[in-house]
Amino acid sequence: MSKEYDAIIIGAGSVGCPLAYFLAKEGFKTLVLDKRPASGQGENKAAIGGVRATHSDPAKIKICQTSLDIFSKWEDKYGVDIGWKKGGYCFPVFREQEEKVLKSILPIQKSHDLNIDWVDNDRVQEVVPGINSQGLVGGTFSPDDGMVSPLLATEAFTNAAKDLRVEFQYNQMVKDITVSSSNSVESAKTQTDAFHAPIIVNTAGANAREIGNMTGLELPITPDSHEAGISAAVKPFLGPLVVDLRPGPEGKTSNFYFGQLSGGQFIFCYTPSKLFIGENRESTSEFIPIISRRLVDLIPKLKNLLIRRVWRGCYPMTPDGVPIVGKAPGIEGLYLGVGMCGQGFMMGPGTGKNLANIIAKGKPLIEPDVFDLLSPERDFYAEKVETLK
């Protein structure tokens, strides 16, 4: 078997698998390397599957619009169910500060053709049946957003890529990337082999910084760990994924979010006020009591919901909360799709498709000036106004 390829992707996850598929469609002989035994076994399988384009950053909006287009049409196009549920996203609002933030970014969102509006409290109660309406003043609702199964989607991208003769090699930990004297990538070396290609793409998730260091590239990515869980199935009644931006009364959480899968299970997560820096994925004793209290406070009829399982996964964070996507500075043939800040699953297909277009044709699919907001060469510490993450 030849070890010469047109492109090597490091990481078979939320970005790497769609990228492999789209590169193969462009005619690239592609290899995907992953240190785990199968695709999607890193942070991908820890995602809860929400997919929205209702961000405040134009690049995220455009990338996720591409992702939504891919996810929503996948079954019709390929006959493969990936668990797509078009239920939308709802951000209920109870306080003036959240109302101010959400209304301030509506013009940005609408300027990029997002189907989103501020709705009154009656409409919020309609799309979120049983919500505690005490103090509810309204919220935003974006009906075109939805949910997808991360496991089914990654399997679908992997199989579609394999159908186009992409080679996946698992249990292959990349130990080194060789760079020529002219600063061009040459090969990726694992514990068993060296694989050669003029193009190498770092999509290594929580390990992206370590992979970057192999080429002398310092990537400002720090993983922190977030916990999630899933319930037993109950009769479906909730359409959108719901995001409550308020801090939790116990002082240990900021926002929390949840949705009901098409099978009836509730899936949920919260953002801890004090972040768990690092890659520790052990479950905590505080998660169930805190998330249960917040769920029941918001939708009281969930008080008898049975929790089946909890887990933790990593958010590979950048200083400004924006992913790093594009050509690496100073190294020919090295590309980046990293620092997804906990939104790698929803951004994965859009990121992969744009990266494939850059590699094959020299430009992204979205507007170049918007895509440049993701540039590896940007100022990561520039002052930013308060926006919705």
CATH number assigned to the domain comprising residue 269: 3.30.9.10
The CATH number assigned to the domain holding 327 equals: 3.50.50.60
**Residues 228 and 370 grouped into a single domain:** no
**Residues 186 and 265 grouped into a single domain:** no
Query: Does residue 42 lie in a domain region?
Result: yes
Domain boundary at 316, 331, 349, which? 316
Query: Does residue 2 lie in a domain region?
Result: no
Q: pLDDT tens, position by position, for the chain (389 residues)?
A: 458 999 999 999 999 999 999 999 999 999 999 999 999 999 999 999 999 999 999 999 999 999 999 999 999 999 999 999 999 999 999 999 999 999 999 999 999 999 999 999 999 999 999 999 999 999 999 999 999 999 999 999 999 999 999 999 999 999 999 999 999 999 999 999 999 999 999 999 999 999 999 999 999 999 999 999 999 999 999 999 999 999 987 788 889 999 999 999 999 999 998 889 999 999 998 999 999 999 999 999 999 999 999 999 999 999 999 999 999 999 999 999 999 999 999 999 999 999 999 999 999 999 999 999 999 999 998 755 444 55
**pLDDT recorded at residue 385:** 42
Q: At what angle do helices 58-78 and 96-111 cross, to 10 degrees?
A: 70
**Residues 185 and 258 grouped into a single domain:** no
122: containing domain = 86-144+223-316
Backbone angles phi and psi of 110, in degrees to 5: -70, -30
DSSP 161-177: HHHTT-EEE-S--EEEE
Query: Does residue 73 lie in a domain region?
Result: no
Dihedral (CA of 113, 115, 121, 124) sign: negative
**Residues 167 and 312 grouped into a single domain:** no
Q: How many CB atoms lie within 10 A of CB 365?
A: 17
**Residues 368 and 244 grouped into a single domain:** no
**Residues 340 and 294 grouped into a single domain:** no
**Residues 214 and 229 grouped into a single domain:** no
**Residues 135 and 200 grouped into a single domain:** no
Domain boundary at 278, 299, 316, which? 316
The DSSP call for residue 332 is B
**Residues 189 and 311 grouped into a single domain:** no
Query: Does residue 67 lie in a domain region?
Result: no
**pLDDT recorded at residue 33:** 98
> Rounded distance, CA 56 to CA 373, Å?
12
**Residues 140 and 185 grouped into a single domain:** no
Backbone angles phi and psi of 350, in degrees to 5: -65, -40
> Rounded distance, CA 259 to CA 243, Å?
9
The angle at the Cα of 49, spanning 316 to 67, to the nearest 5 degrees, equals 85
**pLDDT recorded at residue 197:** 98
Query: Does residue 249 lie in a domain region?
Result: yes
Would you give the distance in Å from CA 115 to the centre of its chain?
20
Q: How many CB atoms lie within 10 A of CB 263?
A: 10
For 117, the 3-state DSSP assignment is: strand
Q: Tell me how many domains the chain contains.
A: 2
**Residues 189 and 232 grouped into a single domain:** no
Query: Does residue 366 lie in a domain region?
Result: yes
Query: Does residue 57 lie in a domain region?
Result: no
**Residues 368 and 326 grouped into a single domain:** yes
Query: Does residue 1 lie in a domain region?
Result: no
* Closest to 164 (Cα-Cα) out of 349, 26, 9, 8: 26
Domain boundary at 299, 316, 333, which? 316
